[in-house]
Each structure stands twice: as structure tokens, then as C-alpha cells.
Amino acid sequence: MRNPFEKMPTILLADELIDKAFRRAEKAASAFNPRGSVVSKARQREELRIRTVSNVIRDNLRKILDRTPGVSTLPPFYQELLDILVDRRMFHKALASVNWAIKTIRTLEERYVEKIRYSRDPKEIARLRREFYGRVASVIKDIADNLEYLNKARDVLKDMPVIDLDLPTIVIAGHPNVGKSTLLRKLTNAKPEVASYPFTTKGINVGQFEEHWMKYQVIDTPGLLDRPLSERNEIEKQAILALKHLGKLIIYIFDPSEYCGFPIEEQMHLFEEIYEEFGEFPFIVVLNKIDIADEEKIKKIEEFLRSKGIEPLRISAEKGIGIEELKERVIKIIKPEMEAIAHSMGRIEGE
């Protein structure tokens, strides 16, 4: 899956678009050598100007609509993301205004070409053409704000993170410095691709791994699932919603060594919040940095988790301890689900 907004064209602002169209029309008119009477020549030349202006503008605007995916056709994850990045309603309205401008200019073109064909006075013909120019300029000025909005939106959208929506996705959560990116690197054996996300200052880390001929995607969203809910703003809350559309499983990381700077009580508190927030998700909980952590603290967290019916896994992301077992647990949870999906699709195809 690619970024659905990758193909969005550069969007000219109102003045740029008007200038471009008028300049093209002048160029076409000056290269044009009509024959016939004075009136006929005037008609032909002005009709050419009108058609050129209309074509240039409509082509430009049409390209925006053709190369921008319809919001409702996008997967839910991208719809949420669109809301976070640019406000879905505004975006939709801006596109609708572009559509309106295309239609209006087409109507004006036909109307003025007809008027010119009926006129027998070269001065009147020139005046009609100027009037057409004025009306076109005012249509474009009417949508100036929308063009500006789309222009800015495009800059944001074309850099949207490329996340493969077809792959089962594992989301990593836990306080800062507990070892999230170290674990991601270890699990995926890859230098994580960092895509810039506007709602995290650090970008998002994405990596993949393959096991038993199946690919999995692991993402880490610094700044998102590492703080209490009360500290998150609206945008971040929405981003979390987007994650819910995307993820299949959460790997929650504790750092019993407390080297991350958060006491284990605080870590348990954050865990409870995230566990509740993602209630419908399967969780795998790991205790990281066991190479340096205190046995007593490890036990304390283990007891806390067992009281919730969770059996945590001890690992060291840095030393590579427990990573294979972690992968096995991931696969055990995700694979049957994916197989069930594949199976039901096969059945539908087979029928």
C-alpha cells in the first residue's frame, strides 16, 4: 500500500492560476492568424482566448480532483489520519468548491462564446471577452481560500507515513526510554523506517519481520502511548483512535530496572490506562532490561500482572534475550486470526 495522496498535484493559488491561464491565452492569440473579415477575425481570436482560459483552468482543477482520492474510499486508518492532519470536512468542502468552479467556468465559456458569435461589432466582441475574463477571475477568487487550503493540505498529505495496511500490525507501548525502539530493531532486524508524523515530534518507527512465510509489521509511536491519557491533547487522542484501526496486538514494555527514569509504580499506572483504553486488543507484556534489573522489582511487576491474568515475558532487547519467545507469542496470537481470514476468503472464492 502506498500513500494514497502521493499523486496529488501541486496546487496553484488563485492568482497563479489566473495568471497562467491569461498568459497562455495571450500566447495562443498572438500565434493565431485568422482569416476572413474584421468581424470574423475578432470573433475567432476572442473565442480562442476564451477557450484557452477555460481549458487551462479546468485542466488544472480537474487534475486536483482526479488525483486526490475520495475521502470515503480510504481505509479507516487513513480517514482518521486525514482528520488529524487536515480536517476531513474542510478537505471535502475544498474539493467540492473546485468541482463547482470547473462547472461554472464551463458554463461561462459556452455562454460567452455564443454571445461573441452573435455579435457583429469587434469592440463589443473584445468587451465581451474582457467581461468573461473578469467573471472567470472572480470565480477563481471565490475559491481562493479553498485552493490555499488544498495547497497546504497537499504538502502535509504527501508526506503521510507509509504504513502497510495489509499487514498485521503490532503496536509497541510503554514509557519513554523503556527500550521500545531497541526492541523494534531487534524484532524486525531492520533499521526502522522513520516516517514523519505531525502528532509526534520524533516520527514513527516502522519495521517488518517475516516468520513462517508471513509478514508482520511493528510500529512504535513515540509520544503517543507513553504518557497518561490526561496529558494527551485532542490530536493525540485521535491519533490513538487511528492506531486502533491499524493494530492487531499491543506489546507493552516495562522497565523494571527503572533506568528509564520512571518508577515501577508509575509504569504500572500507565499500563492500567493503556490496558483499559485498548481493552479489545490482545496484549503481550514484556519486562525489558532483565540483564540489569533487580529481581525484586521484576517480581513485583510480575505479581501485579498475574493478578490481572497476564503472564509477562522477561526479555532484554539489547542483549537479544527472550526475543524468539516473544515472536512465537506474537505469531500464536496473530496467525490463527490471519488464517481464519484467509480461510473465509478462500471459501468465498471457492463458492
Ligand X SMILES: Nc1nc2c(ncn2[C@@H]2O[C@H](COP(=O)(O)OP(=O)(O)OP(=O)(O)O)[C@@H](O)[C@H]2O)c(=O)[nH]1
Interaction site with ligand X (CB under 6 A): 176-182, 222, 226, 288-289, 291-292, 316-319
Closest CB 180 distance from ligand X, rounded Å:
3
Task: Report the distance separating Cα 36 and Cα 79, nearest Å.
Answer: 58
- 200 and 221 Cβ atoms separated by less than 8 Å: yes
Spell out where the chain has E strands: 169-173, 193-195, 204-211, 214-220, 247-254, 283-287, 313-314
Task: Report the distance separating Cα 289 and Cα 298, nearest Å.
Answer: 10
- 204 and 220 Cβ atoms separated by less than 8 Å: yes
Closest CB 318 distance from ligand X, rounded Å:
3
Nearer residue to ligand X within complex by CB, 14 or 286: 286
Nearer residue to ligand X within complex by CB, 289 or 329: 289
Task: Report the distance separating Cα 288 and Cα 314, nearest Å.
Answer: 6
Closest CB 314 distance from ligand X, rounded Å:
10
Angle at 276 between CA 318 and CA 194, to 5 degrees: 40
Closest CB 193 distance from ligand X, rounded Å:
15
Closest CB 332 distance from ligand X, rounded Å:
23
Nearer residue to ligand X within complex by CB, 179 or 247: 179
Nearer residue to ligand X within complex by CB, 4 or 203: 203
N- to C-terminal Cα separation, the chain: 28
CA distance readout (Å), 144 to 12, 16, 205: 10, 10, 37
As given in the structure block, the three cell numbers for residue 325 are: 519467545
Strand partners, 325: none
Nearer residue to ligand X within complex by CB, 44 or 316: 316
Closest CB 202 distance from ligand X, rounded Å:
6
- DSSP assignment of 123-187: HHHHHHHHHHHHHHHHHHHHTHHHHHHHHHHHHHHTT-----TTS-EEEEE-STTSSHHHHHHHH
Nearer residue to ligand X within complex by CB, 42 or 293: 293
Nearer residue to ligand X within complex by CB, 4 or 222: 222
Closest CB 350 distance from ligand X, rounded Å:
45
